[in-house]
């Protein structure tokens, strides 16, 4: 044990210096700002102390050197940590885990129900909230089954003689960011006023819910055509339980829709209670996962370590994460396709590009196209007819605006008309079939 004390200084100094060099502080950018310089300076100071301790130790006995170096190491390390903590505080550096305000809380609301058909709004619970002004917009126009459809899912006596279409999907199919009557689903319904079209799109769901919906409503409607709206974030949604959302009121009385599950940096599904969700809503970050993590995150230096950990985890192989999402989504789509085909219905998927995909298809959009081709599912790719700004709601929203919904609705309506005229989608523009 000839070099333990100077080695402690060396290691601690290197770690602290690296924390500053790797731009872990809020607001840091290439180059150094004042907080970064303070961290790097503290690390370099400890490196100098390490050199001095090592040099002085050579002239003392091992016992004396160890005792004195240990005392010096403890004192200098504590002083450095305390001084650096105060300097970072004065520089405006925030902690990783601030305390939730004592008056901030969430109250769960009964507007959401889950069952055999997945999850949807509860009509009887939503109506009083709409009348009181707690809710407004599209959610106040749901049918009695809890979906964004202008009519209840009840078959008329002449349904056997009429065209029947079942729409599946998430927020885009629901009609998010479109005025009432302007969504692509409503545009399709307007183009076929004599058809029976049931829209079962629900925000924040994936292909796992779509299959549950199909198994409940397809035997009733017996659709001739089933259309699924597929969005890039469905790859994430498919990793989570279907019962993934909660409606609540925050401390100000505002109604909010929160996801109660998330995928952490280790690709595990984690669940949150109302206390956790209040923390997330207040601070836009996950709550600490242990008492030790909470203690570290309440200090500036500890927060640097946690940010370093998060950076290292987020820098993991993105390909592996995408591969897992592809595998899970493939399984759900394969099961849905088999159920649709077995029912005697035709199957069409509408791919929903994000604004960036219009300029150049991103990895998730490319993966969605490849997956449809691999599973031999006919799909509509409307990317070439959309504008990345004019046809989308303002950022950070990625949904289509009225213009985007209506463009895709018109394109889809033309394709559906061609399909029922010929029994084939071969002549549908922007549709790839197999």
Query: Is a pLDDT exceeding 50 seen at residue 139?
Result: yes
Q: Do residues 328 and 318 touch, judged by C-beta distance below 8 A?
A: no
Mean pLDDT of 191-201: 97
How many CA atoms lie within 13 Å of 63's alpha carbon, on the beta-carbon side?
0
Mean pLDDT of 154-163: 95
State the pTM of this model: 0.79
Q: In which region does residue 84 sit, left (phi positive, over 0), alpha (psi from -120 to 50) or beta (all else)?
A: alpha
Q: Do residues 188 and 221 touch, judged by C-beta distance below 8 A?
A: no
Task: Compute the radius of gyration of the chain from its Cα atoms.
Answer: 29
Q: What is the DSSP letter of 392?
A: B
Tokens of 108: 């769960």
Backbone φ and ψ of 61, nearest 5°: -70, 160
Which of the four pLDDT bands, split at 50, 70 and 90, describes residue 30? very low
Place of tokens 């079962």: 200
Across 342-379, b (16+ Cβ under 10 Å) vs e yields ebebbbbbbbbbbbebbeebeebbebbbebbeebebbb
What is the rounded distance in angstroms from the CA atom of residue 393 to the CA atom of residue 389?
Answer: 8
Tell me which of 401 and 3 has the higher pLDDT. Answer: 401
Q: Do residues 107 and 248 touch, judged by C-beta distance below 8 A?
A: yes
Which of the four pLDDT bands, split at 50, 70 and 90, describes residue 205? very high
Q: Which residues contact 317 (CB under 8 A, 6 or more apart)?
A: none
Place of tokens 């490196």: 47
Mean pLDDT of 90-117: 81
Tell me the pLDDT tens digit for each residue of 308-352. 777 776 666 677 889 999 999 999 999 999 999 999 999 999 999
Q: Which residues contact 385 (CB under 8 A, 6 or more apart)?
A: 407, 408, 411, 430
Which of the four pLDDT bands, split at 50, 70 and 90, describes residue 29? very low
Tokens of 404: 């985007």
How many CA atoms lie within 13 Å of 407's alpha carbon, on the beta-carbon side?
19
Mean pLDDT of 129-141: 92
Tell me the pLDDT tens digit for each residue of 340-383. 999 999 999 999 999 999 999 999 999 999 999 999 999 999 99
Average pLDDT over the chain reads: 86
Query: Is a pLDDT exceeding 90 seen at residue 396?
Result: no
SS3 291: helix
Tell me the pLDDT tens digit for each residue of 43-89. 777 777 776 666 655 545 555 665 666 677 677 777 777 887 787 78
The pLDDT of residue 357 = 97
Q: Which residues contact 297 (CB under 8 A, 6 or more apart)?
A: 95, 96, 97, 288, 303, 306
Mean pLDDT of 260-278: 87
SS3 168: strand
Tell me which of 42 and 118 has the higher pLDDT. Answer: 118
Tell me which of 369 and 285 has the higher pLDDT. Answer: 369
Mean pLDDT of 408-429: 95
What is the rounded distance in angstroms from the CA atom of residue 411 to the CA atom of residue 129?
Answer: 36
- Percent of the chain surpassing pLDDT 90: 56
For the beta carbon of residue 43, count every other beta carbon within 10 angstroms: 21
Mean pLDDT of 402-408: 98
């Amino acid at each position: 044990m000839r070099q333990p004390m100077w080695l402690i200084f060396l290691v601690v100094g290197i770690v602290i210096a690296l924390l500053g060099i790797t731009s872990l502080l809020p607001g840091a950018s290439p180059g150094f700002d004042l907080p970064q310089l303070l961290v790097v300076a503290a690390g370099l100071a400890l490196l100098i102390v390490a050199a001095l301790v090592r040099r002085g130790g050579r002239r003392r006995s091992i016992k004396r050197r160890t005792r004195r170096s240990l005392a010096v190491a403890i004192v200098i390390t504590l002083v450095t940590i305390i001084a650096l903590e105060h300097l970072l505080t004065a520089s405006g550096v925030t902690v990783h885990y601030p305390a939730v305000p004592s008056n901030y809380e969430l109250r769960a609301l009964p507007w959401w129900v889950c069952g055999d058909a997945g999850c949807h709004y509860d009509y009887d619970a939503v109506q009083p909230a709409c009348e009181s002004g707690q809710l407004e917009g599209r959610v106040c126009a749901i049918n009695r089954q809890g979906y964004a459809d202008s009519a209840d899912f009840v078959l008329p006596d002449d349904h056997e003689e009429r065209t029947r279409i079942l729409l599946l999907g998430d927020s885009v199919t629901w009609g998010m960011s479109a005025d009432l009557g302007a969504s692509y689903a409503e545009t399709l319904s307007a183009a076929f006023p004599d058809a029976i079209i049931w829209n079962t799109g629900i925000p924040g769901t994936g292909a796992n819910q779509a299959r549950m919906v199909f198994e409940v409503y397809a035997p009733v409607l017996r659709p001739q055509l089933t259309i699924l709206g597929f969005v890039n974030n469905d790859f994430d949604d498919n990793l989570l339980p279907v019962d993934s959302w909660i409606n609540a009121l925050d401390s100000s009385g505002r109604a909010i829709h929160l996801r109660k599950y998330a995928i952490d940096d280790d690709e595990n599904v984690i669940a949150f209670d109302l206390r956790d969700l209040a923390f997330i809503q207040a601070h836009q970050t996950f709550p600490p996962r242990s008492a030790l993590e909470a203690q570290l995150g309440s200090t500036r230096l500890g927060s640097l370590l946690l940010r370093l950990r998060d950076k290292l985890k987020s820098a993991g192989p993105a390909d592996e994460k995408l591969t897992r999402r592809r595998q899970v989504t493939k399984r759900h789509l394969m099961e849905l396709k088999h159920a649709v085909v077995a029912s005697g219905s035709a199957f069409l998927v509408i791919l929903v590009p994000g604004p960036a995909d219009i300029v150049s298809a991103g990895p998730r959009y490319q993966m969605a196209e490849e997956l449809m081709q691999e599973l031999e599912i006919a799909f509509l790719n409307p990317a070439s007819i959309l504008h990345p700004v004019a046809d989308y709601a303002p950022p950070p929203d990625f949904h289509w605006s009225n213009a985007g919904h209506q463009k895709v609705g018109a394109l889809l309506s033309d394709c559906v008309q061609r399909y029922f005229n010929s029994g084939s989608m071969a002549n549908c523009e922007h549709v790839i079939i197999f």
